[in-house]
Amino acid sequence: MKKRILVTGATSGIGRATALRLAAPDTEIIITGRRADRLAALKAEVEARGAECLVLNFDVRSERECIENIEPLGRVDVLINNAGLAAGLEHIDCGDSADWDAMIDTNVKGLLYVTKIISHAMVVAGKGGHIINIGSIAGTEPYENGAVYCASKHAVHAISQAMRADLLSAGIKVGEVRPGMVETEFSEVRFHGDKERAAGVYRGVEALQGEDIAEAIHWMLSLPAHMNVNDIVLMPTCQAGAYYTYRK
Q: List, for residues 99-114, the tens digit of each pLDDT value.
A: 999 999 999 999 999 9
* Structure confidence at residue 75 as a pLDDT band (50, 70, 90): very high
Q: Which of these is catalytic: 143, 149, 243, 244?
A: 149
Buried b / exposed e over 85-94, threshold 16 CB at 10 Å, is bbbbbeeeee
Q: Could you give all domains of the chain from N- to C-terminal order, each with its CATH number?
A: 3-240 (3.40.50.720)
pLDDT of residue 219: 98
- Residue 237 backbone phi and psi in degrees, to 5: -55, -30
Residue 208, pLDDT score: 97
- The closest alpha carbon to 86, from 95, 99, 76, 105, belongs to 99
Is pLDDT of 1 > 90? no
Range 207-220 average pLDDT: 98
- Determine whether 149 is an active site residue: yes
Confidence band, pLDDT 50/70/90 cuts, at residue 129: very high
Considering only CA atoms, which of 12, 78, 19, 27 is closest in space to residue 45? 19
φ, ψ (nearest 5 deg) of residue 172: -95, 120
Residue 169 — very low, low, confident or very high, per pLDDT cuts 50/70/90?
A: very high
